[in-house]
Amino acid sequence: MNWRKLRIFLLTVLVLCLIPATRYYQIDVPLLRFLKGTPQVDPLALHLSGEFVETNLGTEQDGDGSVTVRMVAQQYLFVPHCILVPSGVPVHLRVTSADAVHALAFEGTDYNVKVLPGTISEAQLQFSNAGQYKTVCREFCGAGHYAMRSELRVVPRDQFPALRPGERGNCAAQ
């Protein structure tokens, strides 16, 4: 028996077994996150029910002064197209994908959030200065990838309009 060959064989089998363990549904979901059970959403029914129906997208004011932003990334746009947030407060981002893997990034910042169909990506953001940021996709997602961009508008905290319940900070119409 050639122990060296057996060792190499077993090591190869082990490595091959580990690859699918870190991949789930052909997309990169780290094993820990998978075991912890990420919130699951049905990418085909986002518009029908649940957290990501259209009327629930955009900026929502939380009781403690922070805001929650809900977005959907899809080929080849972000919904809503324009997001309004106040400066200097925590922004809880919740985003999911309706189709492919995308990466939501705000140009000029280090924020880069990977967005996968079937799961909700969460990120804590904060913008200290008012201004406009281009929202771009940094994961090649198909033919229209390079046109996949929208906008994030940060307004001074005291100028951020008080949003009534049901009113969303979508600045596309402004």
Task: Please report how close the Cβ of residue 138 comes to Cu ion at its closest, in angstroms.
Answer: 8
Is 95 or 141 the residue whose CB approaches Cu ion more closely?
A: 141
Task: Please report how close the Cβ of residue 129 comes to Cu ion at its closest, in angstroms.
Answer: 26
Is 67 or 72 the residue whose CB approaches Cu ion more closely?
A: 72
How is the chain classified by DSSP, letter by letter? --HHHHHHHHHHHHHHHHHHHHEETTEE--HHHHHH-PPB--GGGTTTSSTTSGGG-EEEE-TTS-EEEEEEEETTEEESSEEEEETTS-EEEEEEESSS-EEEEETTSS-EEEE-BTB-EEEEE---S-EEEEEEE-S--STTGGG-EEEEEEE-GGGSPPPPTT---BGGG-
Task: Please report how close the Cβ of residue 99 comes to Cu ion at its closest, in angstroms.
Answer: 9
- Nearest Cα neighbor of 172 from 80, 74, 56 is 80
Is 61 or 150 the residue whose CB approaches Cu ion more closely?
A: 150
Is 94 or 102 the residue whose CB approaches Cu ion more closely?
A: 102
CA distance readout (Å), 53 to 67, 91, 116: 18, 20, 17
Is 101 or 163 the residue whose CB approaches Cu ion more closely?
A: 101
Task: Please report how close the Cβ of residue 48 comes to Cu ion at its closest, in angstroms.
Answer: 22
Task: Please report how close the Cβ of residue 59 comes to Cu ion at its closest, in angstroms.
Answer: 21
**Footprint of Cu ion (CB under 5 A):** 102, 137, 141, 148
